Structure 1
């Protein structure tokens, strides 16, 4: 019987490096699927929890946040697009237009896991990342979130019910507090078997090495 490696993938839908890290993680899992089972849980983290409705121009936000020039931001985005493509995400060539709050995305991801299981949560996570980075559309528009839900094979009406109310808000905030309270302040942060931490958009080789070390210990 194959051992199971549990993975807590702490991330935000608005984080491009989270998409890169997820793609690389999935490549590593595929390479070691004959040696272990992998149980991936997506945990919430908000890069911009106080972002108001309507968001902020992405270039403006990134230059202000990191003290970079427009040219530096554009160069960074081009580099990220290349890394994302290698990881299986084809980012929009013009980049994301605006930066948004992602709390509703996290509520939907929590629902997917709770009511439909981890595989559906993983599909929704991928589709929400595609919505933001590949389609480069408005995350404040609930129609775009519902489209992602439907592409993931989940129920449109149930998603709308959640989006129109406050369901799973407390649960998401509790999970966020758990991980920020444990010292997580940047994403992606990937926790293996509840005890090994990998941070940043690690290449697939780093994940493979970590998995193999865990399997050797077992």
Structure 2
């Protein structure tokens, strides 16, 4: 008999570890046929200031983490290698700029209503890390929607409105109040927290243990 778990994946499009964490989750679930995991993408913003000027990612990360640009470049190169092994396109992640992702999260909420949230999220990751595209730009977001199999005109209409803004803000506020300050965060059954993009074996073991503890 299948055991059903709910899993809220708190993430941001601007977070490379969130993309890696999702693929590792996929790998973990392939080893757990006894589990039915119902995934919901939840919004989080690493760069919440919509008015902040965009800047090249390496100096921005260098300032944020107090490390040299050389160190940050090495860290990004490591991520590119990890991503390639997982089938993710991170080929231009060092050429990207900082950007606000609020509208991108709104499109994920809209896509979720059509059962396409994961496809939308993966299209956004590919645009940002693989193409160094500006995922705050509405035309880029419409293109991502099309790549996810969604309608361009409907996506543009969503972006031209304030639809799903409250749902995105509710996510952000909820998880900030819950004490989450870094992503990805995997929240299982609204009770258990698995932090970070852990290895598939670790994720699988954690999910198995949670399932065994269910009444």
The reply to whether TM is greater than 0.5 is yes
Distance in 1 of aligned mates of 2:17 and 2:212: 29
If the length of structure 2 is used for normalisation, what is the TM-score?
0.94
Q: CA deviation at 1:99?
A: 0.9
Deviation per residue, 1:175-207 (Å, 9 max, x gap): 111111111111111111111111111111111
Quick one: distance in 2 between partners of 1:133 and 1:156?
Answer: 22
Q: How far did residue 98 of structure 1 move?
A: 0.5
> Contact conserved, 2:120 with 2:148, CA < 8 A, in 1?
yes
Q: What are the residue-to-residue correspondences of 1:45-84 with 2, within 5 Å? A: 45-52=44-51, 55-84=54-83
Which of 112, 136, 155 matches 1:159? 155
Give 5+ residue unaligned stretches, structure 1.
Answer: none
RMSD (CA atoms) = 1.5
- Structure 2 counterpart of 1:8: 8
Q: Deviations over 1:122-148 (max 9, x none)?
A: 111111111101122122322211111
CA distance in 2, matches of 1:63, 1:141: 25
Aligned 8 A contact 2:95 2:132 in 1: yes
Contact map agreement 1:53 1:140 (CA 8 A) in 2: no
Contact 2:12 2:43 in 1 (8 A): yes
Contact 1:54 1:140 in 2 (8 A): no
What secondary structure sits across from 2:94 in the alignment? coil
Q: Indicate whether 1:214 and 2:210 are aligned.
A: yes
Within a 5 Å distance, the mapping from 1:66-215 to structure 2 comes to: 66-93=65-92, 95-113=94-112, 115-117=113-115, 120-215=116-211
* Worse-superposed segment, 145-154 or 52-61: 52-61
Do the aligned partners of residues 62 and 140 (structure 1) sit closer, same or farther apart at CA in structure 2, a change above 3 Å counting?
Answer: same
- Give the match's secondary structure for 2:64: helix
Structure 2: which 5+ residue stretches go unaligned?
Answer: none
Q: Which residue of 2 aligns with 1:37?
A: 36
